[in-house]
Amino acid sequence: MSKKLTKRSEDYSKWYNELVVKADLAENSGVRGCMVIKPYGYAIWEKMQAELDRMFKETGHQNAYFPLFIPKSYFSKEASHVDGFAKECAVVTHYRLKNDENGKVVVDETAKLEEELIVRPTSETIIWDTYRKWVQSYRDLPLLINQWANVVRWEMRTRLFLRTTEFLWQEGHTAHATKQEALEEAERMQGIYADFAENFMAIPVIKGTKTEGERFAGALETYCIEALMQDGKALQAGTSHFLGQNFAKAFDVKFATKEGKQEYVWATSWGVSTRLMGALVMTHSDDNGLVLPPNLAPIQVVMVPIYKSEEQLEAISEKADEITKELRDLGISVKYDNRTTHKPGWKFAEYELKGVPLRIAIGPRDLENNVVELARRDNLTKQVINQEGLAVVIKKMLTQIQIDLYQKALNFRDSHITKVDTFAEFEEVLETKGGFVLAHWDGTSETEEQIKNKTKATIRCIPNSPIFEEGKCVFSGKVSTKRVLFAKAY
RNA sequence: CGGGGUGUAGCGUAGCCCGGUUAUCGCGCCACGUUUGGGACGUGGAGGCCGCAGGUUCGAAUCCUGCCACCCCGACCA
């Protein structure tokens, strides 16, 4: 194979990688599939954090922080949990380095840890070990805690944003007195995630539950939100787990009920990660670069002056300052790019790459006519607008862009949900069209596994609002009562 | 961890098969001038342990061995 083909493959992920790097969001640092998130990308993550944090707190949650290192013994306490994560743990075994006889830095073998420490791949174990000390009475419940943290999962294969070795996320861990309450919490958080994805990120998602095979290690039920990327692959955008009493029993977290009986608490955990930024890029971007929904854009409006002389620039800047103030008064983030080091055309291209939702251009002609040129990033249209009342027009347009982006993604998603009734059709759709396939399934793990082996498609979820109808499993022909959602996934 | 591919300036690359002047080209960078309503142009300039370590050779970016890194495909996964 020639170098060019390898380097310039039309493969989607390549396009995505290049796009992300060029768009200044992140870059591969080369350290075992870790990534450096650049300031512009991090600003987006901060916006996501702020909104999620607000939603968590409104529903009674508090933030806390637990240790990065988890003693190995904690892990072995919940059997299915260990099985799920054992193969991808980074382990700390020593605590000191030294110089050897050649002056090379080596691990000091005498400084071996009594018990190895696991760099958290998720914090259930250490948190539940702590909860044992915090919960004694029904009065201590519910315990609703969230943590913003980094976690490490030593995956064999990494992919920028979607599966980096270290990633940032939030993980919520709650303890409840009753099963019912815990179930409600898990569903509530799924709802919050769906709300956040759709209304804040403009990414339509399908709410559902995972099959036994796809469930989180240690969970009795996994609620998820599934999104569809532009290449027809599905992406799990967030999960919320009902953990039953598994962790309470493993870590001996009991409480005294009103009646004075000792009972195990009921648990949930839920999380979203920097993977959502991958979803953002892969849902909205086009060939010109990123397209950011106004809610997430670090810069919502950029203003570019067009001028020939110093005097013109001065006059334009004066007007630009006025407009900036008006926009800021309406809570709109705006950047006036008066750098003299780059030409307007260059700036236009750069802010398109960065996905800034709206661009204002002002030149001498506009000053004369009391107008500006306003360009939308999402549909690349331009129009000339009167300077009177500009801020209000922009405010409305930002709202409209947010809605239009969601609608566009929704139309794409909905047109890529295909109902099929035969396996031939099933394979055909996955091969040619991609997207979600709605098909009957007999409910067995064996069938699910065989379909996966044959087609690479997995059951993304059993939708929360399924189409209940009599049918026959698309693979085995056995009786089925509802359709489930299949897709190839990231 | 298995299969494949690639490492040459900040980025993208030519040269490698078939060893031989001062390592090619584009973008970017610096200076000056002309430009400025969609990534400007001209002239001049700076920037390289050719991934690392050995080996073969009069001579290695090029051949051989080992190592490392990254990318793609699989298995695993938020």
Which residue places its CA closest to the C1' of nucleotide B4?
A1
Q: Which nucleotide is nearest to A278 (CA to C1')?
A: B78
Q: Which nucleotide is nearest to A3 (CA to C1')?
A: B6
Q: Which nucleotide is nearest to A368 (CA to C1')?
A: B37
Model pLDDT for residues A15-69, shown as the tens digit of each residue? 565 666 667 777 766 677 778 788 888 999 999 999 999 999 999 999 999 999 9
Which residue places its CA closest to the C1' of nucleotide B70?
A30
Question: Could you tell me which residue, A216 or A321, shows the higher pLDDT?
Answer: A321
Pick the CATH number of A417-487 from 3.30.110.30, 3.90.1640.20, 3.40.1440.10, 1.10.150.20: 3.30.110.30
**What confidence score (pLDDT) does residue A149 get?**
96
CA A396/CA A401 separation, integer angstroms: 9
Q: Which residues contact A14 (CB under 8 A, 6 or more apart)?
A: A8
Question: Could you tell me if A308 and A415 are in contact, meaning their C-beta atoms sit under 8 angstroms apart?
Answer: no
Tell me the mean pLDDT in the region A91-108.
Answer: 79
CATH code for the part of the protein at A10-284: 3.30.930.10
Q: Which nucleotide is nearest to A162 (CA to C1')?
A: B78
Confidence class of residue A14 from pLDDT cuts 50, 70 and 90?
low
**What confidence score (pLDDT) does residue A28 get?**
67
Q: With a cut of 80, say whether residue A5 has pLDDT above it.
A: no
Which residue places its CA closest to the C1' of nucleotide B72?
A6
Q: With a cut of 50, say whether residue A3 has pLDDT above it.
A: no
Confidence class of residue A11 from pLDDT cuts 50, 70 and 90?
very low
Same topology, domains A10-284 and A417-487? Answer is: no
CA A439/CA A482 separation, integer angstroms: 8
Q: What's the Å distance between residue A18 CA and nucleotide B51 C1'?
A: 22
Confidence class of residue A156 from pLDDT cuts 50, 70 and 90?
confident
Q: Which nucleotide is nearest to A271 (CA to C1')?
A: B78
ipTM, two decimals, is: 0.84
Q: With a cut of 50, say whether residue A349 has pLDDT above it.
A: yes
Q: What's the Å distance between residue A167 CA and nucleotide B29 C1'?
A: 34
Q: What's the Å distance between residue A347 CA and nucleotide B29 C1'?
A: 18
Q: What's the Å distance between residue A232 CA and nucleotide B26 C1'?
A: 35
**What confidence score (pLDDT) does residue A84 get?**
83
- Side-chain half-sphere of A450: how many Cα atoms within 13 Å? 12
Domain locations in chain A as residue ranges: 10-284, 301-397, 417-487
CA-closest candidate to residue A34, choices A166, A147, A136, A143: A166
Q: What's the Å distance between residue A273 CA and nucleotide B76 C1'?
A: 19
Q: What's the Å distance between residue A278 CA and nucleotide B69 C1'?
A: 24
Q: What would be the CATH architecture of the domain defined by A301-397?
A: 3-Layer(aba) Sandwich (3.40)
Task: Tell me the percentage of chain A whose pLDDT exceeds 70.
Answer: 94
Tell me the mean pLDDT in the region A205-224.
Answer: 92
Tell me the mean pLDDT in the region A402-417.
Answer: 97
Of A14-28, A213-227, A432-446, A474-488, the one with minimum mean pLDDT is A14-28
SS3 A311: helix
Q: What's the Å distance between residue A195 CA and nucleotide B54 C1'?
A: 60
Mean pLDDT of chain A: 90
**What confidence score (pLDDT) does residue A17 get?**
59
Task: Write out which nucleotides of chain B lie closer than 7 A to a protein Cβ.
Answer: 1, 4-7, 12-15, 35-40, 69-78
CA A430/CA A424 separation, integer angstroms: 10
Q: Which nucleotide is nearest to A377 (CA to C1')?
A: B38
